[in-house]
Amino acid sequence: MTSSWHGLMENGGRVPEWPYPVRYEQEQEIETDVLVIGGGIAGCWAALSAARTKGVRVALVEKAATVRSGAGGPGGDHWDYAMTCPLMKVDPFVQCQNIIDGQSGYSNGIGHAIECQEGYDAFLEIEKMGAKMRDTNDEFVGAPGRDDKTKLVVASRYGQENNSLRFWGTTVKPTLKKECERLGVRIFDRIMGTSLLNERGIHGARVAGATGVNTRTGEFMIFKAKAVILATAGIGSVWVFNTELAGISTFRSRNASGDGTVMAYRAGAEVTMMEKSGLLYLGTGYKHKIDSGGNDPVFENVPSVDDNGKALPPGYGVSRDAVLKGEFSLPFWGDFPGMSEGWRKINWDLGYQEESTALAMRRCFEEAGYDPTKDLMMNHTLIEGSMPAHFRSPDSMNDRGGVVVDWNLRTTLEGLYAAGEQMFAPAAHGYAAATGRYAGRKAAAYASGASRPVISREQIVREKARVYAPTKRKEGIEWKELHAGMARMMQYFCSEYKTEKLLNMGLDALNEIEEDFVPKLYALDPHKLLRSLEDLNILTFSQLIIRGSLARKASSRPLNFQRIDYPQMDPPEWKKFITLKLVNGKVEVGDLPHGYWGDLKENYEAHNKDYKGVYAG
């Protein structure tokens, strides 16, 4: 067998040459009005929204391929908080406040206000573009949540009702890309953004564009822009890098390496909530989990049974003793055949097959002959068990740290905006769509009246030297070794329980990696250069996590944050956001009060007096 790398070597085969021309350090310069970095759901919406402003040129930079990139690229099954939909029962701003209260104040009130007020507008708008958003073919007549008059399908997920709509998520990204192209957006796929350019190279000054590297040719990209929108999503691979046991520590794209947050921070923007973390949503295969599970239809209303077909009790009541005594048999299963036909059809034919695993579901399950009317599905969450406490993440897909924004979704730097998961405490698909759409029109309005900024050649030269340093070496350490070492330090020193000494030891360890091992990092092709640059962002992101953890001298249940040396849980004086900003080469710690956005309805309306709702063009 020669199709594998091992087979190639065993049979004396030569290592294949890099299939693209390598053009390290060669420059390409692009000038635009609005530059969007990140081509996921938020980024595409930002680009097409900005492009609808007359006379505004827009460029979109995406590290992968825009047509399927990002968390929503493969699909999506529910559009949260479309509160202006006639089927919803709660006022948008009441729902927004409910979200904030549910997160104990550690929420992005601005982003959620936009989501709740404009999410349904975005839903209807993408339907006009051609995405399938309702049951127009009458496939689900009689199924739970299906409204016969509008043919919309309301989603009941996680025990919540009437705040989400089902949609055919596999149709979304191709539709967004097509609309971007129709509107004249210049799309640059396979380009990793590496830095933001400040006007005249002055740190903390207005953002004047960005730099990037082509991940296939290694060519250096210089983008000049009047406004920049960051939409590069979040990060997952901080605490775990172990391909044998648990893979990369994220169920998101491997490309999500905190690029935008780190770029913004390096340019002088404020970030917050960096200290928040949680256990991974990732199976490790270490052990059976036999002390929880239950039979509540919490996720997609799929009941659970044990290996003998015995229904698990309501709630989370399967105790370890019950399993050890033989009352329940492992493994546990999702009982699709036991569901009503309507719920099964909604969950399998629409929910599961349109979610972010949609393409894999169709390929793997359907081709294998899986039949949900006859076959159970192993409940991997229950069978694989709880994660070790040191297998952490900057908190699943939502509610992690990110950049601080105002009511225009502008960061603390002039000319720099953020959308979707780029912001602190973000949320899911509807949030990304609504905030991307909003940021696009705000950035375009700013760019329409802004002067052309002056970039600094000196800043570009410094960035080129940083970017291409790994290509100058032929030996040392590669990106996997560096990543594994950083993850190990985070496991040791910034895990479940924290102390001042542990955190300072961790910061020292990361600084040592930066000073002693990063200069040994080498990359033999543009792909490995991409991974190396991602590692450098993960390193900075890890340092920010520890700095945020050092700054918060109190424990906090909502932040899943425990300081042994400061055990008091959520004292009133610490119910605030901790901010970090780079000033003159040093980290400046600040804070923002919960609810810094003020009255939600008043401020939204004050900043959107000319907003006319759904695009009618």
- Range 419-425 average pLDDT: 96
Residue 321 is predicted with a pLDDT of 81
DSSP string for residues in 164-231: EEE--GGGHHHHHHHHHHHTTPEEETTEEEEEEEEGGG-TTS-EEEEEEEETTT--EEEEE-SEEEE-
- Higher per-residue confidence, 202 vs 386: 202
Q: What are 544-565's pLDDT values in tens digits?
A: 999 999 999 999 999 999 999 9
User: Hey, what are 189's tokens?
Assistant: 């796929």
Reply yes or no on whether the pLDDT at 395 is more than 80.
no
Residue pair 64/253 in contact (Cβ under 8 Å)? The answer is yes
Break the chain into its structural domains and give their ranges.
304-384, 470-593
Percent of the chain with pLDDT over 90: 70
**Residue in this structure with the two tokens 């693209």, named with its chain if needed:** 20
Q: What is the DSSP string of 86-97?
A: TT--S-HHHHHH
Residue 483 pLDDT more than 90?
yes
pLDDT of residue 359: 63
Say how far apart CA 183 and CA 301 lie, in whole Å: 41
Rounded to an integer, what distance in angstroms lies between the CA atom of residue 439 and that of residue 231? 10
pLDDT band at 303 (very low <50, low <70, confident <90, very high): confident
Hey, what are 159's tokens?
Answer: 């025990």
Q: Look at residue 315 in the predicted model and tell me its pLDDT.
A: 61
Confidence of residue 103 (pLDDT cuts 50, 70, 90): very high
Q: Given a cut of 70, is residue 378 above it in pLDDT?
A: yes
Residue 617 is predicted with a pLDDT of 36
Average pLDDT over residues 445-468: 97
**Range scoring the smallest mean pLDDT among 2-6, 243-247, 360-364, 396-400:** 243-247
Mean of the pLDDT values across residues 63-77? 91
Mean pLDDT value of segment 373-388? 70
Q: Is the peptide bond before 92 cis (omega within 30 degrees of 0)?
A: no
Mean pLDDT of 46-75: 95
Q: Is the pTM of this model over 0.85?
A: yes
Specify the higher pLDDT residue, 10 or 50: 50
Name the residue with tokens 């792909």: 527
Q: Read off the pLDDT of residues 228-271 as tens digits, 9 standing for 90 and up.
A: 999 998 887 888 876 555 545 455 677 889 999 999 999 999 99
Average the pLDDT over 426-441 and give the result: 96
pLDDT bin (cut points 50, 70, 90) of residue 307 is very high
Q: Over the chain, what is the mean pLDDT? A: 89
Mean pLDDT of 75-93: 92
Q: How confident is the model at residue 512 (pLDDT cuts 50, 70, 90)?
A: very high
The set of residues, in sequence order, having a beta carbon less than 8 Å from that of 167 and lying 6+ positions away, is: 76, 77, 78, 79, 123, 131, 132, 133, 134, 153, 354
Q: 470-593, which class in CATH?
A: mainly alpha
The pLDDT value recorded for residue 614 is 67
